Amino acid sequence: MPELPEVETVKRGLNKLIIGKVIASVRADNPKSFPNAEHDVRNFLIGSHVTEVRRRAKVLLIDLSTNYTLVIHLKMTGQLVFVNKNLVDSKSYMVDGERPTTNYQIPPTANEVRYGGGHPTDSLIGSLPDKSTRVIFQFSDDSHLFFNDQRKFGWVRLMPTAEVPNIDFMKRVGPEPLEADFTATEFATRFKRRAKTSIKAALLDQSVVAGVGNIYADEALWGAKIHPATKVGDLPNSKFHLLYSELRSVLNLSIEKGGSTNRNYVNAEGKKGSYMEFARVFRREGLDCPRCGTEIIKIRVAGRGTHICPACQQLGK
DNA sequence: CACTTGACCTGTCCGC
DNA sequence: TGCGGACAGGTCAAGT
């Protein structure tokens, strides 16, 4: 689901919406959705306030005044949606403000939470909580942050801020592609150790470069006129430089458009991103390549659905 | 070690 | 309408 631009959009939204808010309670639909020890929740989450929201790769980091951090991965269908107090009927579900529990039922009925048009585009969120709601954070002003995840691949963890860099994913993950000091030369160098795999698999490998997923891999490869199945070792240096600039421009454009929404993704206000209106190949099979007019096709590379222009992106060219 | 495949889940869409 | 299978924006563990 959310890739770098989507998580970045959520991060920016939350930084406008929840900084300084005090966490009054937390509830989960299932212990697996928020498996922290109750001791940590009681002592370092409840009563803390949000100091900053950060992003690393596709991971969201919500820093708390207790020097603890909520670490959140949205995976394929996760959403993190803030709902203001005036949109929540607090009587629609029970809140335990004193002793948080990680094992309670989220009631099936809820208040209406509707968002109107504007940009980004319309909301996908009807009312919250809904059947995909996994965790609810309630703030002291009675506003709420909902973690929804239809497929249950996502996760939320609470841990000391100082330990975040030590989790396995953080130790392995590669550099941020949009950092100013990340150069085309370093980009090319990092691919060299994956010489025998496809360029698409290498782009999706978070240890090479952080934050790239299926959408922006396809979009950037189209921009650089590279067939996704091309072996990394077969690519000339000039193609790496081209791919580097295409990737950065695609990611930047998507952030500007508030990310991509195929089905599930929404920003922190529950609204869709509009990048898909600007996509050149992703999910555009059967339509014309915007560069040469050839019909875009969908193939399978690295176990993932992959969209290419068969004329612009040829193996061995 | 490098690389690929299946598993984790729920929902939707497509063909029969 | 119903049912089976494939597929969906990500990442691991286990396989070759």
- pLDDT digit string (tens) for chain A, length 317 residues: 699 999 999 999 999 999 999 999 999 988 888 888 788 999 999 999 999 999 999 999 999 999 999 999 999 999 999 998 755 544 333 333 323 333 344 443 333 333 322 345 677 777 888 889 999 999 999 999 999 999 999 999 999 999 999 999 999 999 999 999 999 999 999 998 899 999 999 999 999 999 999 999 999 999 999 999 999 999 999 999 999 999 999 999 999 999 998 888 999 998 999 999 999 999 999 999 999 999 999 999 999 999 999 999 999 76
Query: Annotated active-site positions of A, please?
Result: 2-3, 58, 304
CA of A134 to C1' of C3 (A): 30
Is the CB of residue A234 inside 7 Å of nucleic acid strand B?
no
**Closest CA-bearing residue to C1' of B7:** A153
CA of A65 to C1' of C14 (A): 40
CA of A22 to C1' of C9 (A): 32
CA of A20 to C1' of B8 (A): 35
Q: Using an 8 Å Cβ cutoff, are A195 and A188 in contact?
A: no
Q: Which chain A residues in 49-88 sit with Cβ < 7 A of strand C?
A: 57-58, 73, 75-77
Q: How many residues does chain A have?
A: 317
Provide CB contacts within 8 A for A110, sequence distance 6+: A89, A92, A93, A127, A128, A129, A130
Task: Tell the residue number behind the tokens 């090479």, with chain if given.
Answer: A208
Distance CA A176, CA A256 (A): 17
- Cα distances from A143 to residues A19, A75, A101, A174, A212, in angstroms, run 12, 25, 19, 36, 32
Query: Which amino acid is it at A63?
Result: D
pLDDT of the residue at A173:
96
Of the candidates A92, A130, A86, the one whose C-alpha atom is nearest the C-alpha of residue A111 is: A92
pLDDT of the residue at A93:
38
Task: Tell the residue number behind the tokens 């631009």, with chain if given.
Answer: A5
Pick the CATH number of A184-308 from 2.40.10.220, 3.40.50.1370, 1.10.8.50, 3.40.109.10: 1.10.8.50
Note whether A4-171 and A184-308 share their fold. Answer: no
Provide CB contacts within 8 A for A240, sequence distance 6+: A184, A187, A188, A191
pLDDT of the residue at A56:
98
Distance CA A73, CA A217 (A): 19
Is the CB of residue A6 inside 7 Å of nucleic acid strand C?
yes
Q: What is the CA radius of gyration of chain A?
A: 21
Show me where the domains of chain A are located: 4-171, 184-308
Question: A4-171 has which CATH code?
Answer: 3.20.190.10
